Structure 1
């Protein structure tokens, strides 16, 4: 073999082995000691981090996230908000101007790293705004563990987005993304996206956190409180232990992406057990604006039971709903949400969405900075599925509102592809629809294409195979194709990578002596299999499945009915005719997609009433 050929062969073999390499994920163990100065909204932090490199790569640098460094004038977040103007996130703006630009100097977020060591050796590091690059004293070899120690102090920022002091409901401290957090490393390399205000990613980690704070404070957190009898709020017989007027809180958590907490002097804590878990904590300011929280227990109980049965078992022992956010934001074993709600349905809608992130952000921990549609979209799907059970509506399916919202949004002409990175959408509304709505409708369309029973099985297998790991869209699609027997790559490409739309219609109905021929037309750019149905004058519904050739197979049944299978409709073909053995006098109506799941942007030509 010639040398050039040998080199090429070796390269091909190396690429093959790289693609076939065994799955791995990194892990970390944090031990933190935090001393809070509540009057000045600052804290001192000391951290020991055991980091295990389970990858096949030797690591010469590591990266940490310093999220709070974003909360100051002229930060990258401030620049991005200013550049987007009124097209950006309204929560980050006031009258179209970035709220970060006016943060007072003494309320700017800061995480000041004093030193970091590796196995006792002081390390060189550089701060790149919200990213800290650390040069190692010794490489971390594959399948080995190293220990980092770190000392820092922090300024709790003015509450702008998610984290900070004195939010608009008067909560003193919302402590989220608050500590130097090691970045995730996987097959795609280090996940070191700058924090611009959107999503997060991290390795699964264990936490042992000790917090010293004024004894009058109550803390809500995602984790296990190890000393409830020594602090305020969790034990009616507690004897608060205070040293120099400070109580010590001890929290632990295992196999989570992060540890978040919130502190306020007016918090009350209520708890109850969901049968088969988890134990739920409600941590909030008990006043007139939050009185709806008193009604939540039975709904939350049923919520977790529905989620556990349909989407997979919630594996953690506790979950806390904490009044502490600027809307809602999910974290490990807890969420930070606003306390005020008009009614129980509004409160539960927020709780249902943020709680469902425990499945599609925590337990199934996709890189949400790269694929926000898998996190927000799958979570929105679960939210609407469960809310439909908790608060039944007269709708054709649980996702009808999302489908209608998508159709109305398309008319604005500002859609951006769901494949875009979370922080890189130019329009805030376009980000919402790309990530939340199109991500949700991705699952709705799959249910329509391959049948709801296959979608249910796909979601179950997805959880069984990938919970407590970091799956990608390729992993999910692999399961969907295996369960359904269909080729679905074409659909994912159209729906996620483009802004092309679905638009089928009935072009013509021709009545014959013994039959009726209906001509359908594809006016859109996304091909789909078609559920076509007729209603007879004696109220009988007959369903026909028109497969689309790229799936190479078809569904024969669905929860919406059984189907008679017709010939393929090639995706290149504009029109398709179907002849049914019914005369005009025998027909009441003919139509496309009686279940109303297909995201057809124009429903006006999908139904013909026979008169």
Structure 2
């Protein structure tokens, strides 16, 4: 009889799991009762996570915390949500009834409970809104958000009695009728309404619960949509962090959810779809098969498979166990792909218009699950979903993604990796996001290497199969596509750019760039406390990169085999439980039985940097060498060292930093125990037959050295041709690139030379050197050959980080003999911790040695030769952001500058300058303003450094290659006279309408020309309305109206200041950011062509009317 009952139980269980053509759950075999088990008198329910009833807390559940306690005394709370919800697509809302059965497994009595109302973050005056305002971010709310319709609690009861509540934005406190004792269970009945906020495009706050419309079909992402009880744990008690747009924490348990939609929607969600045969019958699945749309043109309107009828509904039913959240996605245009690995179903849901580029999504998802299951621990659930949902987020069993193949591959790997660190290991990611995002980032790199190889597959930048083939796409989209694709530049870029390998792309690059200047945060930091911490800005990015890098370094310390075993043990120990960073730390130490406290201390609780160097190699007798390694950073690590001999042999060495020695085939050298100032150097001797060719620290690429250009004895420089394209920096070598140089001015003629550029990480030892031979070919007509131009020109600039001495500081040097000007400069720049305040000090000097050097100048009468102009400049600058009434937003920069003649100068002058530039945005208009005031002192001012009313002075013109010499600006556009000019370069008082005009001002003694002087005040403004004319912006065109007003001092510096009449111009302008055509692929300085039309000038030349159509050409925007 016992055997008969057991067999019957098995058959029932088997038939349940195999229903509806879904997967045979991969752990079914382990759930079969032993036929010899004695049947107790009290009936028990066999563990089945796929269908009702709730068996989460069953003794047979291998994942239930009581059945596999991570450590003695551990506990966590249990939840069972039962939700019936109807999605009202006409109102973009959900009406729902929720039962929550909550079990108190803690040793404490609970007098109240807390719930998260995440959606309430997206409304005026929320904590998120205040957080955005504190970061000076403009917020544009959607319709329902403005009405504060997000998550509304209509009633909450227990035992049919209403409970008192207190709501503080995204946290709801519920007062219990009587204390909930340890071991007791309570049921809450909650009636609520949840809103999707409104059409996604109508607002600018990134929210995950959203709706959008595409080709007439409404799409819904249902996430964080229900009142979710907070976690009560042994570390915090109740966790009550307000939701600020990132990271979550939830209780494990069971969800039974029914979702009612109009029948045309295709829905997927967390959990097992218990009525699949009803909602997705075989005939419908055949129509929805993604393969049917493999040849459909990308982004063309979808077909209609089920017609919309708001009166016809369909209810989708889901059951999920061992999960801590429930999410869904729904879209009438979803088409479905299916794959399988080890009994685990992988579903892809793609909008039909994108289906042609989602053909491999399900197979790719299955492969990702396979890799992570084999390497880090078996996937617990029966399915994984990847959905085309304009997102990039993870929820139990379901990821909401975006993009297309192959571009989405990295995203799919990352989001599915979250099923391990977030889904199955339920970290308090709000408190410490490193446990979630950082571990996932490590798995992203790991998975990419396993699936894609060293490099991720990517699209060429000139793909040619989408928009141009689609006759239904707006012409503006065609223009945008043409601008970015199928051009010679894109093909050139793809041929000469580089690509980061998986480890560097997902981990080391972002970490090393900041670590090289000791600018990484402590990982033991609250997720909301990384600087501004909005989105992924600032130091929050190291939650990803630094954590992933730490795990690679843990692998480096332990060795591959022990590391993987320890990670698997951590996963199995804490699966379906709630670890903190200290639990991870203890798990690794206890499993490996290795003292790793020194490792975790420095990585989690400090921002120390890691820097080892080959300091010295001494050749001794008989091919023996003494190698000295220096520890220059504050971190310590064991060292893997490789020596290559001249005979081509390779010798590997391992230097432990304590008593632990990892499994290695290398020669193990004596321990190097040292930290702080103890034993900062280590020397060993070894015999290398034939001698040493090279010595290298860490050939694996896993050691997180922040300054790797000293990690080799030879070969620390990467020489290459400079193709001028954007490239990722080389983390391991100093880059030195060269290319031919070609330039022109009308005095030197054609200039032929070479350009050499070098840097490490684009921050250290940045070198730009150019040298030209001036051929004299194609000289300007005005030079008859008698004037002697320079035969050779050069320009050298160097800058480097000085963080070793003062954080956030840089040193720069420059020298040149170029276009008739001898120049040198040395400067030092330092920023404060916020990088909003800057102090810059420089010493500069320049001279034109004889009259022939004036031939280079576009204003050759505004410079005196044979005069040395040396000066010291001190600049103090402050950047700021502001937001007024959530309407006017902007940023600005205010700069105070003191410039004074210095030793060896032939001049005696000083300038005190204050300039404030603000860039504001309101209702789509960009309003730029500039306030400028300068006071000059001294008895002898250089012409080139004076204040000019219309624009830049000659000294500033030397900074632009197009204006530092003749040849690019037509001669008849320049010079000053009694008439209006044609050329303008921003600077000075910036009275552009007075360009080229002497600005004759009447005085008591007659008149004075005030186009140049020593003191003045100006206000400039531009109102850019380009966003109101979208066609302009596609090609980098801008249009604006402008006004400039200013006064100049009429007297010299020895007299009392006497300001002129106010001079004002008013007009409209157009600019074309020409460099936008190539700067997405080429390294180049911005190039903007500008045409300003000053229609009104209040004090015009006597030959002109104040109101007149004037035309002024310029380079770059006026300010």
TM-score bracket for the superposition, by shorter chain length: 0.7 to 0.9
TM-score, reference length from structure 2 = 0.49
Cα 1:109–1:450 shift into 2, 3 Å:
farther
Q: For 1:164-199, what per-residue CA distance to the aligned partner results, in whole angstroms no more than 9, with x for missing partners? A: 121789752111010000111110211211100110
2:251 maps to which residue? 203
Query: Is 1:30 paired with 2:76?
Result: no
1:260 to 327, 340, 354: 327
1:28-427 paired onto structure 2 within 5 Å: 28-85=79-136, 97-100=138-141, 108-158=148-198, 159=200, 160-166=206-212, 172-188=219-235, 189-231=237-279, 236=284, 244-274=311-341, 276-287=342-353, 289-326=354-391, 328-338=392-402, 340-341=403-404, 343-344=405-406, 346-393=407-454, 398-401=502-505, 402-410=507-515, 415-427=520-532
Displacement after TM superposition at 1:119 (Å): 2.4
1:530 maps to which residue? 639
Question: Is contact 1:353–1:382 with CA below 8 Å preserved after alignment?
Answer: yes
Aligned counterparts of 1:421 and 1:387: Cα–Cα separation in 2: 29
Displacement after TM superposition at 1:565 (Å): 3.0
Q: For 1:513-557, what per-residue CA distance to the aligned partner results, in whole angstroms no more than 9, with x for missing partners? A: 1321111111111122222221122333222222224xx422241
Aligned counterparts of 1:254 and 1:141: Cα–Cα separation in 2: 25
Cα 1:229–1:555 shift into 2, 3 Å:
closer
Displacement after TM superposition at 1:313 (Å): 0.5
Aligned pairs, number: 571
Question: Is contact 1:73–1:103 with CA below 8 Å preserved after alignment?
Answer: no
Cα 1:556–1:446 shift into 2, 3 Å:
same
Q: For 1:27-56, what per-residue CA distance to the aligned partner results, in whole angstroms no more than 9, with x for missing partners? A: 111111112210111121111111011111
Q: For 1:390-416, what per-residue CA distance to the aligned partner results, in whole angstroms no more than 9, with x for missing partners? A: 111279985233213321233576533
Cα 1:379–1:230 shift into 2, 3 Å:
same
Cα 1:234–1:330 shift into 2, 3 Å:
farther
1:470 to 564, 578, 582: 578
Displacement after TM superposition at 1:97 (Å): 2.6
Aligned counterparts of 2:214 and 2:698: Cα–Cα separation in 1: 46
Displacement after TM superposition at 1:112 (Å): 1.2
Question: Is contact 1:32–1:47 with CA below 8 Å preserved after alignment?
Answer: yes
Aligned counterparts of 1:485 and 1:277: Cα–Cα separation in 2: 36
Question: Is contact 1:505–1:605 with CA below 8 Å preserved after alignment?
Answer: yes
Displacement after TM superposition at 1:111 (Å): 1.2
Question: Is contact 1:71–1:109 with CA below 8 Å preserved after alignment?
Answer: no
Query: Is 1:505 paired with 2:624?
Result: no
Q: For 1:427-466, what per-residue CA distance to the aligned partner results, in whole angstroms no more than 9, with x for missing partners? A: 4433443211111112111111121211101011112211
Question: Is contact 2:347–2:362 with CA below 8 Å preserved after alignment?
Answer: no
RCO (CA 8 Å, sep 6+): is it higher in 1 or 2? 1
Question: Is contact 1:584–1:610 with CA below 8 Å preserved after alignment?
Answer: no
Cα 1:431–1:224 shift into 2, 3 Å:
farther
Aligned counterparts of 1:106 and 1:596: Cα–Cα separation in 2: 51
Aligned counterparts of 2:377 and 2:585: Cα–Cα separation in 1: 18
Cα 1:478–1:462 shift into 2, 3 Å:
same
Cα 1:167–1:143 shift into 2, 3 Å:
farther
Displacement after TM superposition at 1:103 (Å): 5.4
Displacement after TM superposition at 1:376 (Å): 0.8
Q: Which moved more, 1:304-313 or 1:292-301?
A: 292-301
Query: Is 1:594 paired with 2:668?
Result: no
Q: For 1:560-579, what per-residue CA distance to the aligned partner results, in whole angstroms no more than 9, with x for missing partners? A: x4342323332242532333
Aligned counterparts of 2:177 and 2:82: Cα–Cα separation in 1: 21
Aligned counterparts of 1:580 and 1:74: Cα–Cα separation in 2: 68
Aligned counterparts of 1:162 and 1:586: Cα–Cα separation in 2: 61
| Secondary structure, aligned partner of 2:443 | helix
Cα 1:431–1:46 shift into 2, 3 Å:
farther
1:460 to 563, 568, 572: 568
Cα 1:426–1:534 shift into 2, 3 Å:
same
1:562 maps to which residue? 666
Aligned counterparts of 1:574 and 1:143: Cα–Cα separation in 2: 56
Displacement after TM superposition at 1:610 (Å): 9.1
Aligned counterparts of 1:192 and 1:167: Cα–Cα separation in 2: 34
1:90 maps to which residue? none
Cα 1:109–1:526 shift into 2, 3 Å:
farther
Aligned counterparts of 1:362 and 1:235: Cα–Cα separation in 2: 33
Unaligned runs of 5+ in 2: 1-69, 201-205, 287-304, 456-498, 717-1119
Q: For 1:188-228, what per-residue CA distance to the aligned partner results, in whole angstroms no more than 9, with x for missing partners? A: 21121110011000110211111122112111212211222
Displacement after TM superposition at 1:476 (Å): 1.8
Aligned counterparts of 1:226 and 1:21: Cα–Cα separation in 2: 37
Aligned counterparts of 1:371 and 1:520: Cα–Cα separation in 2: 36
Cα 1:139–1:610 shift into 2, 3 Å:
closer
Unaligned runs of 5+ in 1: 1-18, 86-95
Q: Which moved more, 1:219-228 or 1:53-62?
A: 219-228
Question: Is contact 1:569–1:576 with CA below 8 Å preserved after alignment?
Answer: no
Question: Is contact 1:84–1:426 with CA below 8 Å preserved after alignment?
Answer: no
2:630 maps to which residue? 521
Displacement after TM superposition at 1:302 (Å): 2.2
Question: Is contact 1:517–1:577 with CA below 8 Å preserved after alignment?
Answer: no
Aligned counterparts of 1:64 and 1:610: Cα–Cα separation in 2: 59
Cα 1:244–1:363 shift into 2, 3 Å:
same
Query: Is 1:440 paired with 2:536?
Result: no
Cα 1:608–1:147 shift into 2, 3 Å:
same
Aligned counterparts of 2:445 and 2:207: Cα–Cα separation in 1: 25
Question: Is contact 2:144–2:150 with CA below 8 Å preserved after alignment?
Answer: no
Greater Rg by CA? 2
Aligned counterparts of 2:670 and 2:650: Cα–Cα separation in 1: 16
1:605 to 710, 723, 740: 710
- Structure showing the higher helix proportion among its residues: 1
Aligned counterparts of 1:605 and 1:105: Cα–Cα separation in 2: 55
Cα 1:583–1:319 shift into 2, 3 Å:
closer
Aligned counterparts of 1:607 and 1:359: Cα–Cα separation in 2: 38
Cα 1:161–1:127 shift into 2, 3 Å:
same
